[in-house]
Structures are given as C-alpha cells and as structure tokens.
Structure 1
Amino acid sequence: MRIKRAGLLLFTLCVAPALVFGQDAIAAGATDKSKPVSPTTTLSFPSTATTLTQDQIKELIQKVADNDDKNDKVQHDYTYIEREVEHKLDGKGNTKSTETKTYEVLEIYGEQVEKLIEKDDKPLSPKDAAKEDEKIQKIIDKRKNETDKQREKRLKEEEKDREESRKWVHEISDAYNFALVGTEPVGGRQAWVISAEPRPGFVPHLKYANYLPKFHGRVWIDKTDIELSKMDVECLDTVSWGLFVARLHKGTRFALEQTRVNDEVWLPQSLSFKLDARVALLKGFKMEDEQTFRDYKKFRTDAKVTGIGEVPPEK
C-alpha cells in the first residue's frame, strides 16, 4: 500500500477506506534536530504558548496542511521500503493468521509504484520476482508512450485532487472543537498535543463530511517545523458508506507517525489501524494492520529501478 499523502484528511471517512481497503522507519542518514525544515513556520503566536484559542489552533492546522502539501510534492523525489504486517482476528480478537509483505516503492514518471520484494520476510522466488519486474516494465512502457494530451489530463486530475484536499481542511476546522492538551516529545522533538472532538451543530458542505462527527482524535504537531508528527483517530459510532454498504464499527482506530527526512521533508514512519468492519451482507471481519516505512532515498540522486534501468524524471 504505497503512501497516500493525506495529512489531516485522515480524520475523514474519505481517507479511512483508502487506508483500510486499498491504500516511514527512520530515514537513512542523521539529521540536525534543531534545524527547521519547512518554510511555512510563521505563526501569529509564539511556540512557547501554553494556551491556544480556537482561532489559533485553526491557524496551526492550516499551516500544517500547507506544509503537508509541500511534503506531497517533495515525496515524489523519494523511493523507500514499506513493510506491511496484517493480522486477521477471530470474533474474540485472537490472531487467526498473519501475513507479511515488503515492497520497494518506486517513482516512475511521477507515479508511485509498488514492487513486491518479500513475502513473510523471505525473498520472492525467481518466478514471482520476474512477474514483478514485468509489471514494472509495463508501467514504464505505458508512461514512456504517454502523449502530451494524456499527460495534461493526468496533471489536471492531480491538481483537482489537491484542491479538494484544501477544501477538506476548512471543513475539518468547522467540524471539531479543538483544545490544546499540552506538549509532549515525539521522536526527541517537542510537539503540541491537540484534541479534536465533534462540534455540535456542525453543518457539512462537502460529500462525506457528514461522517466527520463520528470520529475524534488527537494530533501531535511539531513546534519547530509546524508539521504533523503523530495522529490517533478513533471511530465513535458505526459508519456506513457505499452502494454495497460497507461499515466501520465503533472502536476502529487509526494511528500515524511521521519523521523528518534529509532536513527537507516530513514523511510517514509508521501507520497502523485496528479494524472492525462489515461489507454488505458478508460476514464481519476484524484485523490489525501495521505498516512501517524506511530507507528513504532521493530518486534523482541515489536510486534507480534495479534490473530494468533508470527511469527519467518527469518533465
């Protein structure tokens, strides 16, 4: 499941299904923990503030969203390794089975693509490895032959997605009452801890925004870089969506941690969720999923698609 930059949009049900049904791990090299990364760090209040008003917290969230948009762009310069451990649970919460998959996530003509490299922490057989190489080669060939018109259409769709994300930031700001809980260290760095509880009387304006009051959580915001460093979200009530009625039950949880990479960007370090769900009339299922992200490498400087040659950067 390659990373889908979501930032605070992980609060929304639009992102939760992507994480669950088909959606980083310290970076290589040491970093100076006192040096700010993000250019968007100016706030109207000092980082030493011990109390914040609702307007100040909303300002903080907007800054985080702006920086996350920048992270999204820089992330496309990186390849990385993703390891996913999926535990299927029985009705009592006991583990029935465990499956582990490890991927190399590549950047191919502006698109993140997964290449499976291990199953249950063992290298693929030569036959399966060849299939993965063939899959990657097909993607390269498709993008290499992309016309100017096709590329223009794709880029417009990507910009439309970014614009929708910006709208969601405002919707989230209206949907919750925020409170500064305090400060805590995350990865050796001080972070504000912000709680978000559903605001009574919230009127949604975007599709699926009516689900927001069914979630609550906390976010940890790095005080130096104004970046999302940690997040914990919980489902408060049963949520249903889709033509075939998929459901998330009360108690479903999502947790995200991010880390600073190469003094220039914040990227996921770990993502986990504990799921209790039902799809249509099928039997309900429970699972725990843990994803870790590591070995971030600058694609244009120190990484290449092994076995099938280098892929040129997007123009």
Structure 2
Amino acid sequence: MSVNGRFLLELVLLAGFSQTVWSQSQPSAAEIIRRSVATNTADWKAQLLYAHREADTKSTIDATNRATVHSSKTYDVMMIEGSPYNRLIAINNEPLGAKQAQQEERKFHAEIQKRHSESPTEREKRLSAFRSERSEEHLLMEQMAKAFLFKLVGEEKLGNLDCYVLDAAPDPNYTPPVQKARVLSGMKGKMWIEKTQFHWAKVQAEVIHPVEFALFVAKVKPGTSFELQQSPVGSVWLPCQFIENVNASVLGVYSMRSREQERYFDYRPNGFPKDKANLSSVRD
C-alpha cells in the first residue's frame, strides 16, 4: 500500500475513532433534558429574588403579515410583601410626564401601605392567587419535558455560549394533565441548552396542527409560535425576551392574529427586606 493510501486509511480510522469518542462523551438527549429541567427549575425559583424592568409591546397582525403596534409600556417590577407589583414608568419608550409620574408614585406608595395593613384573610387571598399562577407556570415547564420526543441534533454558539441543540417533536402518547397543557400536543420545538450548567438559553415552539380549548369555543392554529431567551444574571439565568405570535379563532368565526413581545432587563435584588422572609411561601 502506498504512503498516500496508508495515510488515507489512517485518516478514516482516526475519524471513526474520534466520532466514537465524541458520541461517548456526549450526553444523551434524555440526560440533557433531565439536567436542564433541574437547572431551569432552580433559575425559575430564583426569579423571585430579583426586581427588574419589563417592556411590553402588543401588536395585531393583518392579512399581509404586517404588524401594527397598539401599545408599548415599560414597567418596574418588584416584590412587595410576597407578590409582584408592576409600576408603570414609560409609554412608547418615552418616560412618563411629570403629572402621570406623580400619579404612579402615589399608586405605588398606596399599594405598599395597603399590603402592609391588609388582614390575614386578604393577605392569604393575594398570595394564594400568586401561588396558583406560579404553580401553573411550573406545571407547564415540567410538561414541556414530558410532551415531546427530543433529539440531539448538534451544537451551536449563541453569542459566546456553547449550546446543545435539540429538536422536539410531539409525543403521540402524551396525555395533557390540564387543559392549558393541551397546546403542547400540537407543537414542535427547538431548544438551545448551555453546555456547562444546562441552562435554557433559547426555546422556540410553534403550533403545527390546530388545538381546541375552552369546550371547543377557541382554537389555536398553525402560525402560533413562542420564543423564550434567557441570559446570565449572577449565578442564575433569567428571561431576557419572550415573543408570542398567536393565530386563533373563536367559535370558528372570529379570527385573531396578534404578537406580544416582552423584554426583561435591569435585574437587581429586590429592595424590600420583608419580602425575603415571605418568598418561601410562594417559591416552591
């Protein structure tokens, strides 16, 4: 065999060996998802420790796919006595005028006083509503891992982050435990999971066949999609953007196409010391 022939043969053997080593060192899709769910749950719980700013933009989509913005508001979001409060600080990316800013300041201090002086029954009612909302969020997050069949399709950089990339196809054997989880059975998705600690860097999902809700009154159709992006805040990862495109119909007659974009930024520790003692009642 010629030198060139031996060289080519060794390259083939080495390539095969390298591929074997790579696949052996690569965690399975199931292991990546398992570890990422645990990491993301810890990140989700840590959200309560941080105040942040949130810019919400709501648009409608016409037949030509053109978006028309109807409202854009920015809030300062903070925990007060165990549940969040959204303080309006800007409209259409412009700070509030002096008069409206004073009104929001008065509303903010009135809410603090109200929560400080509420009765045990009133307090429990408020916290119970927030716990229910958090429980629903957590359930849907857990169901994402159960509703899909995941396939590791490669690795990719998001900015300077090394990520595993997984495709998610609907599991035909999945049975949604609650009505709101039904939409997962009609979706496919893609996940970018940071390789070191298995944080969710980006999650995309889109509806691929119609899903009916509310005793068949409403139907979510293809064209509905979601995208979540997260980034590091200290030792945890928190949401930085969420985009929701909705294509739905009501009673088979009224159609609605809309887009909501939420940006989350300026994270900092909550500034109300009492809240740190109250977080345990809503964190889990």
TM-score past 0.5 threshold:
yes
What is the match of residue 101 of structure 1?
73
In the alignment, what sits opposite 2:282?
A: none
Query: Counterparts of 2:136 and 2:63 in 1: how far apart (Å)?
Result: 38
- Find 2:267's aligned residue among 290, 296, 311: 296
Q: What root-mean-square deviation, in Å, do the aligned CA atoms of Structure 1 and Structure 2 show?
A: 3.1
SS across alignment from 1:76: helix
2:153 matches 1:181: yes
Report the structure, 1 or 2, having the larger strand content.
2
What does the per-residue CA deviation read over 1:225-261, in whole Å, with 9 as the maximum and x for residues that have no partner?
2111101100111222126823322121111110001
Contact 1:268 1:293 in 2 (8 A): yes
In the alignment, what sits opposite 2:39?
67
Kindly tell me: are residues 226 and 142 of structure 1, through their superposed partners in 2, closer, same or farther at Cα, counting changes over 3 Å?
same
More helix by share: 2
Instruction: Give, as a single letter, the amino acid of the residue that structure 2 aligns with 1:192.
Output: Y
Aligned partner of 2:247 among 276, 280, 286: 276
1:93 match: secondary structure: coil
2:90 is the alignment partner of 1:118:
yes
Higher relative contact order (CA 8 A, sep 6+): 1
The counterpart of 1:232, out of the listed 175, 180, 204, is: 204
CA contact (8 A) 1:273 1:288 kept: yes
Write out per-residue CA displacement over residues 24-68 of structure 1, whole angstroms, 9 at most, x where no aligned residue: xxxxxxxxxxxxxxxxxxxxxx9986755xxx4334323322222
Residues 50 and 182 in structure 1, CA contact (< 8 A), matched pair in contact too = no
Matched, 1:313 2:281: no
2:171 alignment partner in structure 1 = 199
CA distance in 2, matches of 1:207, 1:51: 34
> How big is each residue's C-alpha offset from its partner over 1:73-121, in whole Å with a ceiling of 9 and x where there is no partner?
3222212121223332222212344532111112212212211111112
Higher mean C-alpha deviation, range 107-116 or range 86-95: 86-95
| SS of residue in 1 equivalent to 2:30 | helix
Q: Please tell me whether residue 78 in structure 1 is matched to residue 50 in structure 2.
A: yes
Contact 1:80/1:295 (8 A) holds in 2: yes
Q: Deviations over 1:128-187 (max 9, x none)?
A: 323323332343223212445665676677667666666656644443211001111123
Residue 81 of structure 1 aligns with an amino acid whose one-letter code is R
Distance 1:194 1:70 in 2: 21
Structure 1 position 215, deviation (Å): 0.7
The 1:192/1:298 distance shift into structure 2, 3 A limit, reads: same
* 1:165–1:311 Cα change, 3 Å: closer
Q: Which amino acid aligns with 1:284?
A: S
Which residue among 276, 280, 285 is the counterpart of 2:256? 285
Q: 1:236 to 1:244 in 2, by over 3 A?
A: closer
Residue identity in the other structure for 1:132:
E
Partner of 1:19 in structure 2?
A: none
- Overall identity of the aligned pairs, in %: 28
Segments of structure 1 that go 5 or more residues without pairing to the other structure are 1-45, 301-309
Code of the residue aligned with 1:290 in structure 2: it is Q
> Is it true that 1:266 corresponds to 2:228 in the alignment?
no
The aligned residue for residue 87 of structure 1 is 59
User: Is the Cα contact below 8 Å between 1:108 and 1:311 reproduced in 2?
Assistant: no
Spell out structure 1 runs of 4+ moving beyond 4 A. Answer: 46-52, 147-171
Q: 1:173 and 1:67, CA in 2 relative to 1: closer, same or farther beyond 3 A?
A: closer
Aligned residue runs from structure 1 range 127-166, under 5 A: 127-148=99-120, 151=123
What amino acid sits opposite 1:134 in the alignment? R
> Taking structure 1 as reference, are residues 64 and 150 closer, same or farther at Cα in structure 2, changes over 3 Å only?
farther
Residue 297 of structure 1: how far off its partner (Å):
1.4
Matched residue of 2:254: which SS? coil
Distance (Å, rounded) in 2 between the aligned partners of 1:184 and 1:48: 16
CA distance in 2, matches of 1:119, 1:47: 51
Aligned counterparts of 2:265 and 2:137: Cα–Cα separation in 1: 26
Report how many aligned residue pairs link the two structures: 256
